[in-house]
Amino acid sequence: MGRAFVYVILGGGVAAGYAALEFARRGGYSRGELCIISEEASQEAADLILMATHHIRLNGVLLRYTKITSMQKQNQCCFGLKRHISALRFCYFDTCFASYNFFLYSCQVAPYERPALSKGYLLPEGAARLPGFHTCVGANDELLTTKWYKEQGIELVLGTKVMSADVRRKTLLTGTGETISYKTLIIATGARALKLQEFGIQGSDASNICYLRDIDDADKLVNAMKSCPGGNAVVIGGGYIGMECAAALVTNKIRVTMVFPEKHCMGRLFTPKIAEYYENYYTSKGVTFVKGTVLTSFEKDTTGKVTAVILKDGRHLPADMVVVGIGIRANTSLFEGQLVMSMENSGIKVNGQLQTSDSSVYAVGDVAAFPIKLFDGDIRRLEHVDSARRTARHAVASILEPSKTRDIDYLPFFYSRVFTLSWQFYGDNVGEVVHFGDFTSSSPRFGAYWVNKGRIAGAFLEGGSRDEYEAISVVVRRKAKVANMAELEKQGLGFAIQE
Ligand code: FAD
Ligand code: NDP
């Protein structure tokens, strides 16, 4: 059993969606030549559809669609169901087989904007739901629904895990036993969340312990929040997931304690002064910080639910739910031993065209370790959405128009939004730091420059306007010269605006 494509995008996340858009824009393929293979599927949608099909059978053969659409309102995550329901309004379902096919088809998920999962998706009211945040709305571009892929002649092979890859033979073997061959492969397998088991902590599969990487995880988190209104959550990890989820939990009126090993939150990016602002802000929202320690085990009730988190220093923190954000690992395993890896970055090493050590294979997004011209060609693996979008588009340009496509010249860009706060960072956080702005206000506007060898290497800004963010990105891109640190501090944001 097998199918052959000219282009295969392996992975159905952010990078895959942007790669597909770039293919469609450039038009360098014919109908049926390009496919996306992704293992993503939504269990909650699947459960709902199972209920629906069960309902169909219970009621003889005629679909009672009204009852199902009201169920859909309660479970808004069941994207696409309404469309299927109306299509099925006059259909008769009298065999389990038809129901099963319907079930399989409907629980698959086309590429979507992953950042929505820790922000809009977790809102107590007016929460974001698919199809509203499929790629590529995050960059104010087209919304790529399954209909769009169909119209563009791009095959979506969803709910399908690739189990092994043979780079020499140019084939992929799926979990269903199908062999898919390609002429050119784009690896966009992203990353997986690190599990507590990997740090020797047992029992992290409890129903009220949540990770957050995909839509299934987000549904579990939403359900956990709903099950404990006014309750206690312990958030493990003080990075991006920890900070964004803690804010979402507070917005859902859940008391939060954050536990992490570092001296302050966002230890890899924030300076102590920047972190202090956010920690104070979170504290004012009721969040408690437990720093410099880790958890060692859980206390559970007879049903296996966690009731408390036990820390290394012996403290017991009561918990109705736990959210874990302790980092990720790039999904490289299919290609280890076949493609050159970047050991320092734990990713697949690519050149400025996003091409791997095999000229038919490209890697993009979280999984790719690529040269950053601005950092003198230093190889980095970035775990951020802007990098996923741009590397994906660049790879497609390199594939379709190799002679016209220069090496990627990427300016690293990270951002986050929590409560009413919002920050952006450009460049590299190396060198001496100069802070500027107002660190005291509840509607703040402050930032920092990182100065390396007399030039701006990185810049951070909280509460900026569009033009101000643009200005800091420009000084980083230009590696603006800094003659006097005291003067830079005095000028603050003005330095970037005047440049
Ligand atoms: P992913 O989007 O992770 O996609 C990988 C895809 O590959 C998935 O569909 C996966 O199922 C599939 N896959 C993997 N292995 C296989 C296999 N063997 N077979 C088939 N399919 C496979 N970044 C920001 O800059 N700003 C943010 O605000 C932000 N918020 C985030 C919030 C959350 C909750 C998360 C988890 C991440 C966030 N990020 C953010 C990071 C950003 O989403 C990632 O950098 C981006 O998704 C990477 O895109 P990708 O396509 O490389 O990987
Ligand atoms: P991060 O790497 O951002 O943070 C992980 C945090 O957990 C670090 O503070 C880390 O400390 C800490 N940690 C590591 N091990 C343990 C442990 N055993 N116990 C407690 N704490 C521990 O990863 P996240 O999980 O927060 O985020 C996952 C991915 O999602 C990242 O790729 C991130 O870029 C992405 N994301 C991005 C967002 C954004 O850009 N706005 C928003 C949400 C997610 P240490 O540094 O000491 O290892």
Q: What's the chain's Rg over C-alpha atoms?
A: 24
Report the distance separating Cα 347 and Cα 408, nearest Å: 17
Tell which residue, 462, 423, 437, 442, has the closest CA to residue 283: 442
- Ligand 2 centre from 385 Cα, in Å? 15
- Ligand 2 centre from 193 Cα, in Å? 9
The pLDDT, as a whole number, for residue 98 is: 45
Beta bridge partners of 437: 446
- Ligand 1 centre from 193 Cα, in Å? 10
Instruction: Name the closest-CA residue to atom 16, ligand 2.
Output: 326
Q: How far is CA 228 from the centre of its chain?
A: 26
- Ligand 1 centre from 365 Cα, in Å? 8
Identify the nearest ligand to the CA of 237 by its number. Answer: 2
Atom number of ligand 1 nearest to Cα 212? 34
Beta bridge partners of 183: none
Tell which residue, 408, 320, 404, 323, has the closest CA to residue 364: 408
The pLDDT, as a whole number, for residue 43 is: 59
Separation in Å, CA 347 to CA 57, 182, 429, 494: 48, 22, 21, 38
Q: How many CA atoms lie within 13 A of 251 on its CB side?
A: 20
Identify the nearest ligand to the CA of 296 by its number. Answer: 2
Report the distance separating Cα 453 and Cα 361, nearest Å: 37
Using left for φ > 0, alpha for ψ between -120 and 50, and beta otherwise, residue 385 falls in: alpha
Which residue's structure tokens are 């974001």?
128
Pocket of ligand 2 (CB under 6 A): 118, 199, 236-242, 244, 260-262, 267-268, 294, 325-328, 383-384, 414-416
The pLDDT, as a whole number, for residue 62 is: 38
Tell which residue, 176, 197, 76, has the closest CA to residue 132: 76
- Ligand 1 centre from 149 Cα, in Å? 19
Q: Model's pTM, two decimal places?
A: 0.91
Which residue's structure tokens are 């660190």?
439
The pLDDT, as a whole number, for residue 28 is: 86
Instruction: Name the closest-CA residue to atom 15, ligand 1.
Output: 189
DSSP letter for each residue of 24-82: HHHT-S-TTSEEEE---B-HHHHHHHHHHHHHHHHTTTB--HHHHHHHHHHTTT-TTHH
Pocket of ligand 1 (CB under 6 A): 11-16, 37-40, 114-115, 117-118, 161-162, 188-191, 212-213, 331, 334, 365-367, 383-386, 388, 414-416
The pLDDT, as a whole number, for residue 4 is: 98
**Mean pLDDT, consecutive 10-residue segments, the chain of 499 residues?**
95 98 96 97 58 50 37 35 39 42 61 98 97 94 95 96 98 96 98 95 91 96 97 98 98 98 97 98 98 95 96 96 98 98 96 98 98 97 98 98 97 97 98 96 92 98 98 98 97 94
Report the amino acid identity of residue 133.
F
Stated as kind and residue range, the H or E segment containing 342 is: strand 341-342
Atom number of ligand 1 nearest to Cα 382? 45
Atom number of ligand 2 nearest to Cα 196? 18
- Ligand 1 centre from 250 Cα, in Å? 25
Instruction: Name the closest-CA residue to atom 42, ligand 2.
Output: 240
* Cis, bond preceding 136 (omega within 30 deg of 0): yes
Instruction: Name the closest-CA residue to atom 47, ligand 2.
Output: 262
- Ligand 1 centre from 13 Cα, in Å? 5
Task: Record the tokens describing residue 452, joined without a space.
Answer: 């390396």
- Ligand 2 centre from 243 Cα, in Å? 9
